């Protein structure tokens, strides 16, 4: 076996162990995964900062009716911690959050989390990071660390739509990502604005209990049916006895998602056509041709994030459900008025209007080497080196950073790959192989240029608006296969880093 360029650099560096002080920002599935890896390797001088009062990230913030993950739970878990406890193929939000919290507790990550704590600013001092934090009570403090890791999520800050008169509504307005459980929806008239994955998931459970549900859709969505399946006690007992079963499910679902959805997203071909056919066939189950026409999108399936649901079409055809496509003109105290002048009288407005996507660690500010700021490096939008690092920001890494394959496959799998890669650098720092490391500017530019050139083949650029696209129409995701992603982050190419 030949000696690679990276191996040569490894061998030329000094050896001798030390323990880094590490700060991880965010405790969603990415931050917890990073924390687990650090703890498993014995790097326990670790603090995780969490602005909420619970861990779980998106699975903490989202608690709306019908919340469910549309990635099979066996594939939405860490491959090295398969669970035998999943209750169904597509589990609900709280069950998923509990899995991640269970993992945080198992690896003693949980007790290292500082809840209700926001990181406001991070500054490279020349030898370490100074991180300014603020507690919910308003207390301010500065922490120091040798290695700083941001795992702040992608869809965090809710998008409150700018609809005239929304403030004047006499009933309740609730955003899907800040659900208000004190509002009893039984027998109420509810308007749902937005029909992405969230708005569509809500319709069935709302029609179960509400007097009337109006779905306000600006742009129709393609919907792929995904029949759910409960796992009984016998199946779970078997999985407990034979962990290989859970692993088998993991590998099977991973193969299906990567080969079917993942492939169709990045290039045209049989898988894109097959998903399209399945969606069109699903749409044909809507009996009323007028309703079917209103529900028919005019763009390629998967251009917007594909909505997966087996119960939306049956639910929207219920007598207490109504689809409104006329467009919202304004809101008044009694309800929502469409551009055609129709007033929908409502008790509750549910905003399923998404997020300010792709903000990563923003609005936190950062200053790297020679006074360079995050605003400087992201003036043309969030970019990074192979999704995990930033030039000019030494000993700083990201899990789920810019252009991670968030639209392509399971986020748990992405977090695993990125955190394993970051661990290589933590180990190298511990072995005194460097004091500071950051990716080279030219390597970062080369990576981004190649990536952007490949975006033209992806389904995201086939003519629709979605949260994947930035304001210049550039997708913020990954234009290649899962295999390439794992290969790219297998071994650090040290020649693409500035090491000292
Ligand atoms: P989204 O996909 O961004 O959808 C937002 C919806 O709100 C769209 O229908 C949009 O219409 C509409 N909207 C936004 N502003 C509006 C306005 N001013 N007036 C009228 N309509 C407006 O958000 P999301 O549904 O919360 O989903 C975000 C992502 O979260 C998903 O794509 C998915 O990745 C993830 N998610 C996953 C699951 C899961 O099961 N794993 C579940 C929920 C969410 P336009 O389309 O016309 O812009």
pLDDT of residue 259: 83
Q: Based on the domain organization, do 216 and 337 belong to the same domain? A: yes
Q: Based on the domain organization, do 428 and 490 belong to the same domain? A: yes
**What is the whole-number distance in angstroms between the Cα of residue 57 and the centre of ligand 1?**
18
Q: Based on the domain organization, do 191 and 152 belong to the same domain? A: no
Check if the beta carbon of residue 434 is closer than 8 Å to that of residue 500: yes
User: Which domain covers residue 173, as residue numbers?
Assistant: 159-221+304-354
Check if the beta carbon of residue 278 is closer than 8 Å to that of residue 202: no
Of the candidates 168, 170, 169, 190, the one whose C-alpha atom is nearest the C-alpha of residue 179 is 190
Q: Based on the domain organization, do 70 and 192 belong to the same domain? A: no
Low-confidence ranges of the chain (pLDDT < 70): 1-16
Of the candidates 110, 157, 115, 153, the one whose C-alpha atom is nearest the C-alpha of residue 135 is 115
CATH, residue 177: 3.50.50.60
pLDDT of residue 13: 46
Q: Based on the domain organization, do 60 and 143 belong to the same domain? A: yes
Cα torsion 37, 42, 43, 46 to 10°: value is: 80
Q: Based on the domain organization, do 389 and 472 belong to the same domain? A: yes
| Minimal-distance CA residue to ligand 1 atom 2 | 196
Q: Based on the domain organization, do 55 and 103 belong to the same domain? A: yes
**What is the whole-number distance in angstroms between the Cα of residue 354 and the centre of ligand 1?**
4
Determine, yes or no, domain membership for 131: yes
| Minimal-distance CA residue to ligand 1 atom 39 | 69
Determine, yes or no, domain membership for 254: no
Q: pLDDT by residue (tens digit) across 368-385?
A: 999 999 999 999 999 999
Determine, yes or no, domain membership for 176: yes
**Opening angle at CA 33, ends 421 and 480, nearest 5:** 50
Where does ligand 1 bind, in terms of residues with CB under 6 Å?
Answer: 68-71, 155, 161, 163, 176, 193-199, 201, 218-219, 305, 328, 352-354, 465, 467
User: Which among 329, 354, 379 is the end of a domain?
Assistant: 354
Sign of CA dihedral 177, 375, 465, 337: positive
User: Which among 320, 354, 388 is the end of a domain?
Assistant: 354
Number of structural domains in the chain: 2
pLDDT of residue 407: 84
Q: Based on the domain organization, do 336 and 392 belong to the same domain? A: no
Taking the chain, what is the end-to-end CA distance rounded to the nearest angstrom?
Answer: 28
Q: Based on the domain organization, do 129 and 168 belong to the same domain? A: no
Angle of helix 29-40 relative to helix 411-430, nearest 10 degrees, comes to: 40
Of the candidates 475, 250, 497, 254, the one whose C-alpha atom is nearest the C-alpha of residue 396 is 497
Determine, yes or no, domain membership for 386: yes
Determine, yes or no, domain membership for 231: no
- Cα separation, 496 vs 498, in Å, equals 7
**What is the whole-number distance in angstroms between the Cα of residue 173 and the centre of ligand 1?**
17
User: Which among 326, 354, 382 is the end of a domain?
Assistant: 354
| Minimal-distance CA residue to ligand 1 atom 25 | 196
Q: Based on the domain organization, do 350 and 461 belong to the same domain? A: no
Longest dimension (CA), the chain: 74
Determine, yes or no, domain membership for 120: yes
Q: Based on the domain organization, do 51 and 120 belong to the same domain? A: yes
Determine, yes or no, domain membership for 465: yes
pLDDT of residue 2: 43
Q: pLDDT by residue (tens digit) across 213-239?
A: 999 999 999 999 999 999 999 999 999
Q: Based on the domain organization, do 427 and 469 belong to the same domain? A: yes
| Minimal-distance CA residue to ligand 1 atom 3 | 354
Determine, yes or no, domain membership for 240: no
Mutation test residue for ligand 1: of 57, 197, 223, the one with most atoms within 8 Å of CB = 197
SS3 call for 25: strand
pLDDT of residue 4: 55
């Amino acid at each position: 076996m030949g000696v690679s360029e990276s191996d040569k650099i490894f061998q030329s560096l000094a050896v001798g162990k030390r323990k880094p002080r590490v700060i991880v920002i965010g405790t969603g599935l990415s931050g917890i995964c990073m924390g687990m890896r650090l703890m498993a390797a014995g790097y326990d001088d670790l603090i995780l900062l969490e602005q909420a009062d619970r861990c779980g990230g998106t699975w903490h913030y989202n608690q709306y009716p019908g919340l469910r993950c549309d990635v099979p739970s066996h594939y939405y878990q860490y491959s090295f911690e398969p669970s035998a406890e999943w209750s169904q193929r597509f589990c609900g939000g709280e069950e998923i959050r509990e899995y991640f919290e269970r993992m945080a507790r198992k690896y003693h990550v949980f007790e290292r989390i500082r809840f209700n704590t926001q990181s406001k600013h991070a500054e490279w001092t020349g030898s370490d990071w100074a991180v300014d934090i603020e507690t919910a009570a308003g207390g301010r403090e500065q922490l120091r660390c040798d290695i700083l890791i941001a795992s702040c999520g992608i869809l965090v800050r809710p998008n409150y739509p700018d609809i005239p008169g929304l403030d004047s509504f006499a009933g309740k307005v609730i955003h899907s990502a800040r659900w208000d459980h004190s509002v009893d929806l039984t027998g109420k008239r509810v308007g749902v604005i937005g029909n992405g994955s969230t708005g569509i998931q809500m319709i069935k459970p709302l029609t179960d209990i509400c007097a009337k549900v109006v779905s306000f859709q600006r742009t129709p969505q393609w919907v792929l049916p995904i029949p759910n399946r409960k796992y009984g006690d016998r199946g779970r007992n078997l999985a407990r006895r034979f962990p290989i079963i859970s692993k088998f499910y993991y590998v099977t679902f991973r193969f299906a998602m990567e080969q079917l959805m993942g492939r169709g997203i990045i290039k045209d071909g049989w898988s894109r056509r097959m998903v399209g056919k399945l969606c069109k066939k699903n749409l044909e189950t809507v009996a009323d041709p007028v309703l079917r026409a209103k529900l028919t999108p005019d763009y390629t399936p998967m251009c917007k994030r594909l909505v997966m649901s087996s119960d939306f079409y049956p639910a929207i055809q219920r007598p207490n459900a109504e689809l409104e496509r006329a467009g919202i003109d304004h809101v008044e105290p009694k309800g929502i008025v469409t551009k055609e002048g129709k007033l929908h009288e409502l008790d509750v407005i549910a905003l399923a209007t998404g997020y300010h996507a792709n903000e990563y660690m923003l609005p936190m500010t950062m200053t790297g080497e020679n006074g360079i700021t995050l605003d400087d490096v992201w003036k043309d939008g969030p970019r990074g080196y192979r999704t995990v690092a930033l030039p000019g920001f030494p000993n700083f890494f990201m899990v789920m950073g810019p252009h991670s394959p968030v639209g392509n496959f399971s986020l748990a799998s992405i977090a695993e790959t990125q955190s394993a890669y970051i661990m290589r650098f933590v180990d190298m720092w511990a072995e005194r192989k460097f004091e500071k490391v950051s990716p080279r500017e030219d390597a970062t530019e080369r990576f981004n240029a190649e990536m952007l050139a490949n975006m033209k083949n992806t389904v995201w650029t086939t003519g629709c608006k979605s949260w994947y696209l930035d304001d210049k129409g550039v997708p913020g995701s990954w234009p290649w296969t899962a295999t390439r992603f794992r290969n790219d982050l297998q071994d650090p190419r040290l020649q693409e880093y500035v090491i000292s």
